[in-house]
Chain A
Amino acid sequence: MTGTVAVVGSSVAGVRTAQALRTEEHGGPVVLIGAEAGLPYDKPPLSKQFLAGTWGADRITLLTEAAARAAGIELRLGVPAQHLDVAGREVLLADGHRVSYDHVVIATGSAARPSPWPVASGVHVLRTLDDSRALRADLERPGPVVVVGGGFIGAEVAATARASGHAVTVVDPLPAPIGRLLGPEIGELMGQVHQRHGVDTRLGVGVQDITGEAGNLMVTLTDGRQVEAATVVVGIGAIPTTGWLAESGLLVDNGVVCDEYCRAVERDDVWAVGDVARWDHPRLGEAVRVEHWTNAVEQAACVAFNLTHSGQLRGYAPTEYVWSDQYDWKIQIVGQPRAAVKHRFIGEPGAEPPRFAVVYSDGDSRLAGALAVNWPKALVACRRLLAVGASSDEAAKLVETLLVPTVA
């Protein structure tokens, strides 16, 4: 394939696709189109090191101009794509320019679900570098912080704000927010971690309303109680960015709907990758969309391969993996704990610092997933076993042997 590949979206999924196309020896032009004007950057540090101020913007750059030049990637940054003309094979940009392509890769990711509480200032969402900068600036002033949403991003923001000395309250309508993913027991442990670090939690209660302005906000909860805040962070999920495809004729339903090879249905020259892609997972037998960093990278490699090897397409069947750093917990999760029927604890959740793993098994006693806290080696072991369809007993036994470190 020597034609032009247009990649729309310049974050990790788009950048890694462009790079992987070169690895697969695609010889034609690669054009990377991105709405944001700055160089492509990485998102996980935006709720961690960048928000805390320990890393600068230069440390989260995904692709420098020099690296793009060296790889022969043409950057078209600062102008969003507005329409995809599938029949004419053109991307229409908001400034009226058109980019012709032979293949297009949709990598427009997702956007933060907006705060439903209209307040002039002081209420933040966190998705982009600008979001993180604005929140960081507000966190430089003293005053209590309320975090709405106790998922990964909410929990990370709470930990970061707490570490910089703020009084922090986490509000979530679920009694154990992380429990939705990992089971109630872990959800409860996680709640205790917040409390142990001096973060107040209001769980099982929602937000009724937010009023005021930056520095002087009042959060009213559904149980009628009120919490004062200088700054509020709303972390209530993300929505795939597909608005620009509304008139493309592509099938969009909670993401761009793709076949198992990550091609938009009924097209062999339109692909999707990363947070925006909802594809037919061959092993799970259902359409899934995954909002994790590692998925974006692995899917990028798969799309680049398939795009350059039309005769030997590979189905995309990844093993889900995500990490999250909260307080003194380095959490790593692999597979699908939420699909599990049983689980087993190994290690010491109560130790200082804690180090433990949870091995989840499905109805057929096969390993469904694993969670590791401060224990990368256990996670790597389970990640390998999952890929080969091992039993959960085998996984538990192996992890137990890791409790006794080997002498290097």
Chain B
Amino acid sequence: MPRLTADVELCQGYGNCTTTASDVYDVDDDGKVVLLRQIIDDADRSRVEEATRSCPVNALRVLDR
């Protein structure tokens, strides 16, 4: 199943990821992305990939384990 990563150093808190996939990404008090899940179902992959492409600084990845 696909595994998710987030580069907190890169993240600027633009919040696009959590708007596209609020069940997977959130933003904390410091304005940094939080992964609500590390592993997602294959069925969610395309939706989560869309969320990663909405990140203006390319901080998010979907990996094949």
Contact = CB atoms under 8 A, between A and B. Distances in A.
A330 B50 contact: no
6 contacts: A16-B53, A23-B46, A294-B14, A294-B54, A330-B31, A380-B26
Contact of B29 (A16, A44, A321, A405): A405
Contacts of B18: 380
A375 B54 contact: no
B14 A406 contact: no
B31 A377 contact: yes
A408 interface: yes
Contact of B14 (A323, A402, A408): A323
Given A376-B31, A377-B29, A384-B22, A20 B14 contact: no
A301 interface: yes
B19 A408 contact: no
Interface in B6-39: 12-16, 18-19, 22, 26-29, 31
Nearest to A61: B58
Interface in A1-33: 16, 19-20, 23-24
A58 to B, nearest CB: 12
A384 B25 CA distance: 13
A20 B51 CA distance: 11
B14 A23 contact: no
Nearest to A304: B50
What are the nearest 9 A-B pairs in CB distance?
A376-B13, A376-B31, A405-B29, A380-B15, A23-B46, A380-B27, A297-B54, A376-B27, A377-B27
A134 B57 CA distance: 23
Q: Which one of A23, A24, A44, A402 has the greatest number of beta carbons of chain B within 10 Å?
A: A23
Q: Which one of B15, B27, B46, B49 has the greatest number of beta carbons of chain A within 10 Å?
A: B15
A122 B47 CA distance: 46
Contact of B15 (A20, A298, A332): A332
A19 B50 CA distance: 9
Given A298-B54, A380-B27, A408-B28, 6 more contacts: A23-B50, A294-B56, A297-B53, A323-B14, A332-B15, A408-B29
